[in-house]
């Protein structure tokens, strides 16, 4: 079949590859002038540092098949994300762990003592937390909440944690040991040469053609048997019902001679510091040596129509509009909406790849069984 895929990010590339290997002909178009979507990496012209152009990306997964898949296309080197945070004039270790607790409260507690100490800080009058704030107060108490969650969350989401659902902070966000590895997953790493060469290798198949700087136009779909859309769900319908809300990010680039902050990611918890974090990109490639350094100060704000949509907001208002778009999409034939924008969900790279592989397989199963292809293989609701 002639397959049209909108977007040359991970979703488009992985679906295209799977279908091309099965003999389908895949045309992938992307409005940007590069492949890789938001995972795109490139060397900084001035310093030679490998840059995560759309923000820091760390690969982590428990999905062994996905880990083997990405390792089949590029070499991954070990990398563990160890995030630090500045708050109230100090530098602390994240996620909140025994070191953070002992330093923050000026103590030398062992795990059991710290557990009892934090339990005493927690607000036990909150029995059924509804909001992010209630959830945090119940788990960690006011001091840690205000230093590490409140200001950061206000900056990140542009609203009070009292307006955000408790589900954002699901598990106990505290470790009672000295484990400061940001992710729990079994497999973690960083592609040695960045993500873009990995996605280039995925796209390197005779059944795939890629056209860059090419926004979708309706006549493209007329020539295709089926379309996979990894652009914004509302964008497919020309925003006819209104715009789904997103947060966007501004990256303020600056260079430094030497090592600016000694780690890849430093969060800023205080509300009066306007940025959420600083990323120092050379620390994402610790196997490389660079005298100079490039950093991004990261600011978060509501996305306007001109901005890159980064994080779906998914509060009550957005979910109502989303349901209307899902109904429109479900009534659309020969189009499947995929990926983080097409399904309006935050998806890590490993989940994106897992869903893309499953989507391609489900599509081929539908063809084999003569069943209609659904608009969504993963429900956005
Ligand atoms: C700031 C940030 C940090 C992240 N950090 C991590 C991390 O540390 N670890 C992790 O696992 N994941 C991380 N992610 C998630 C990761 O970026 C996504 O999993 C991944 O990018 C999803 O791929 P995608 O192909 O679905 O979407 P995208 O990468 O967004 O690709 C969609 C593509 O579609 C194109 N497109 C859109 N509309 C059109 C159109 N009309 N015509 C043509 N082309 C179009 C876009 O240009 C884009 O290239 C992070 C995301 C963000 C925003």
3-class secondary structure per residue, 71-124: HCCCCEECCCCCCEEEECCEEEECCCCHHHHHHHHCCCCCHHHHHHHHHHHCCC
Residue 160 CA, ligand 1 centroid: distance in Å: 27
Per the CB < 8 A criterion, the answer to whether 49 and 292 are in contact is yes
Atom 12 of ligand 1, residue of closest alpha carbon? 348
Indicate which atom in ligand 1 lies nearest the CA of residue 55: 1
Say yes or no: CB of residue 363 within 6 Å of ligand 1: no
Flag whether pLDDT at 213 surpasses 90: yes
Measure the CA angle with vertex 58, ends 179 and 297; round to 5°. Answer: 95
Catalytic positions are 171, 175, 247, 277, 298, 346, 348
Residue 101 pLDDT > 70: yes
Q: pLDDT confidence of 173, banded at 50, 70, 90? A: confident
Extract the tokens encoding 286: 């610790």
Provide the β-strand partners of residue 92: 85
| pLDDT tens readout for residues 240-297 | 999 999 999 999 999 999 999 999 999 999 999 999 999 999 999 999 999 999 999 9
Expressed in angstroms and rounded, the spacing between residue 184 Cα and the centre of ligand 1 is: 22
Topology (CATH) of 2-42+187-243+312-369: Rossmann fold (3.40.50)
- Is 168 a residue whose pLDDT tops 90? no
- How crowded is the C-beta side of 148, counted as CA atoms within 13 Å? 27
CA of 6 to the centre of ligand 1 (A): 12
Residue with CA at minimum distance from ligand 1 atom 14: 348
Q: Is 81 touching ligand 1 by the criterion CB < 6 Å?
A: no
Q: Strands of the chain (E only): list them.
A: 2-6, 25-29, 41-43, 50-52, 59-61, 76-77, 84-87, 90-93, 187-191, 208-211, 226-229, 246-257, 265-268, 277-280, 292-302, 311-312, 335-337
Judged against a pLDDT cut of 80, whether residue 111 lies above it is answered with yes
**pLDDT value for 172:** 65
Burial of 33 (0-12, 13-18, 19+ CB in 10 A): exposed
The best mutation among 8, 34, 57 to test binding of ligand 1, ranked by most ligand atoms within 8 Å of the C-beta, falls on: 57
At 339-367, the pLDDT tens digits run 999 999 999 999 999 999 999 999 999 99
Atom of ligand 1 nearest to the CA of 214: 43
Evaluated on CA atoms 280, 8, 345, 251, the torsion sign reads positive
């Amino acid at each position: 079949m002639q397959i049209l895929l909108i977007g040359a990010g991970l979703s488009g590339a992985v679906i295209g590859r799977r279908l091309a290997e099965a003999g389908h002909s895949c045309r992938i178009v992307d409005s940007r002038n590069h492949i890789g979507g938001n995972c795109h990496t490139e060397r900084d012209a001035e310093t030679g540092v490998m840059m995560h152009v759309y923000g820091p990306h760390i690969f982590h997964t428990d999905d062994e098949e996905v880990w083997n898949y990405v390792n089949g296309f590029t070499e991954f080197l070990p990398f563990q994300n160890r995030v630090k945070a500045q708050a109230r004039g100090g530098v602390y270790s994240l996620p909140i762990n025994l070191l953070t607790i002992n330093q923050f409260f000026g103590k030398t507690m062992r795990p059991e003592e710290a557990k009892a100490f934090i339990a005493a800080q927690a607000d036990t009058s909150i029995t059924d937390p509804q909001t992010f704030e209630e959830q945090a107060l119940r788990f960690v108490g006011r001091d840690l909440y205000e230093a590490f969650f409140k200001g950061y969350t206000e900056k990140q989401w542009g609203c009070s944690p009292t307006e955000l659902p408790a589900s954002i902070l699901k598990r106990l966000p505290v470790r009672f040991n000295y484990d400061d590895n940001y992710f729990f997953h079994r497999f973690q790493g960083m592609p040695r040469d960045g993500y873009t060469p990995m996605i280039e290798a995925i796209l390197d198949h005779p059944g795939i053609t890629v056209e860059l700087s090419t926004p979708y136009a309706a006549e493209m779909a007329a020539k295709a048997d089926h379309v996979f859309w990894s652009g914004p769900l509302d964008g497919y319908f020309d925003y006819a019902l209104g715009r789904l809300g997103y947060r966007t990010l501004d990256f303020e680039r600056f260079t430094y001679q030497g090592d600016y902050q000694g780690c890849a990611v430093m969060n800023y918890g205080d509300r009066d510091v306007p940025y959420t974090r600083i990323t120092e990109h050379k620390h994402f490639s610790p196997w490389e040596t660079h005298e100079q350094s490039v950093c991004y100060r990261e600011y978060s704000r509501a996305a306007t129509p001109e901005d890159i949509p980064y994080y779906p907001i998914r509060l009550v208002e957005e979910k109502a509009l989303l349901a209307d778009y899902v109904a429109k999409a479900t009534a659309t034939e020969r189009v499947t909406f995929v990926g983080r924008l097409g399904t309006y969900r935050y998806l890590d790279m490993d989940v994106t790849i897992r869903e893309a592989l499953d989507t391609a397989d489900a599509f081929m199963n539908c063809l084999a069984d003569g069943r209609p292809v659904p608009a969504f293989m993963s429900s956005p609701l």
